[in-house]
């Protein structure tokens, strides 16, 4: 049975005991992929950031909060899987320090942020020849050019590039393109999330069965 590791949802970076920095990712595409991959007969492990979604029954779920936690779990599991699908919306920054007590209201609050690791890039360095890595990128322009750059930088096999319209937060035309490492592009802009997830899993299936 082929093994897939799927990440989903946002990350949360603590500021103080009650506040954090996050993003509006719902995790829906990652949860859909999890459901459909299980139906297809894959052995699925889901690593999830905080979300209201319920994972399908019979799935191993690991809950994480911060990018650092996510990185630790991925690096622990990566050598054991055939495929990594990274839909998680990883926060690129975290507070330089986490305050131990609640920050009191003041006139001005300046937060210093430092960069989080690029988890997929680090995982990409460990990728074996027979493994497939799929990334998800949010772009507002130059979809293909930026997408191809990310495929190369992160050593990916596929990248799904989409604009914020895909998540329904921004008005305007939805753009969804699946790009492979050879530069072949499939336009999925007119498909539902479920159909997009199915399409991605079919590509993975084809590659793993080669």
Tokens of 164: 């914020």
Tell me how many residues contact ligand CTP (CB under 6 A).
Answer: 14
- Tell me if residue 186 falls in helix, strand or coil: strand
50 contacts 24 by C-beta, under 8 angstroms: no
CB of 20 to ligand CTP, least distance (A): 16
Query: What residues contact residue 63 under an 8 Å CB cut-off, 6+ apart?
Result: 47, 48, 49, 50
Task: Assess 138 for contact with ligand CTP (CB under 6 A).
Answer: yes
Between CA 43 and CA 58 the distance in angstroms is 10
Which residues inside 78-97 make contact with ligand CTP, applying CB under 6 A?
A: 86, 88, 90, 92
Task: Assess 119 for contact with ligand CTP (CB under 6 A).
Answer: yes
Instruction: Let me know if 130 is a catalytic residue.
Output: no
Among 34, 48, 116, 163, binds ligand CTP (CB under 6 A): 116
- DSSP 8-class letter at 41: T
Among 135, 162, 176, 204, binds ligand CTP (CB under 6 A): 135
Instruction: Tell which residue, 59, 32, 58, 65, has the closest CA to residue 46.
Output: 59
Give the binding site for ligand CTP (CB under 6 A): 67, 86, 88, 90, 92, 116, 118-120, 135-138, 150
Q: Which residues are catalytic?
A: 23
């Amino acid at each position: 049975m082929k093994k897939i590791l799927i990440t989903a949802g946002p990350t949360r970076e603590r500021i103080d005991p009650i506040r954090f920095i996050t993003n509006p990712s719902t995790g829906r595409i990652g949860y859909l992929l999890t459901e459909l991959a299980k139906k297809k007969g894959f052995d699925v492990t889901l690593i999830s950031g905080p979300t209201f979604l319920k994972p399908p029954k019979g799935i191993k779920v690991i809950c994480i909060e911060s990018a650092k936690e996510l990185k630790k779990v991925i690096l622990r599991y990566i050598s054991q899987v055939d495929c990594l699908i990274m839909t998680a919306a990883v926060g690129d920054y975290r507070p330089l320090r986490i305050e131990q007590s609640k920050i009191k209201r003041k006139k001005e609050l300046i937060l210093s942020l430092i960069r989080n690791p690029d988890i997929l890039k680090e995982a990409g360095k460990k990728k074996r020849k027979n493994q497939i890595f799929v990334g998800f990128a949010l772009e507002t322009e130059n979809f293909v050019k930026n997408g191809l750059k990310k495929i190369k930088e992160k050593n990916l096999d596929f990248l799904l590039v989409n604009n914020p319209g895909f998540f329904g937060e921004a008005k305007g035309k939805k753009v969804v393109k699946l790009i492979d490492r050879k530069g072949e592009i499939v336009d999925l802009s007119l498909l539902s999330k479920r159909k997009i997830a199915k399409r991605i899993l079919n590509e993975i299936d084809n590659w793993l069965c080669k």
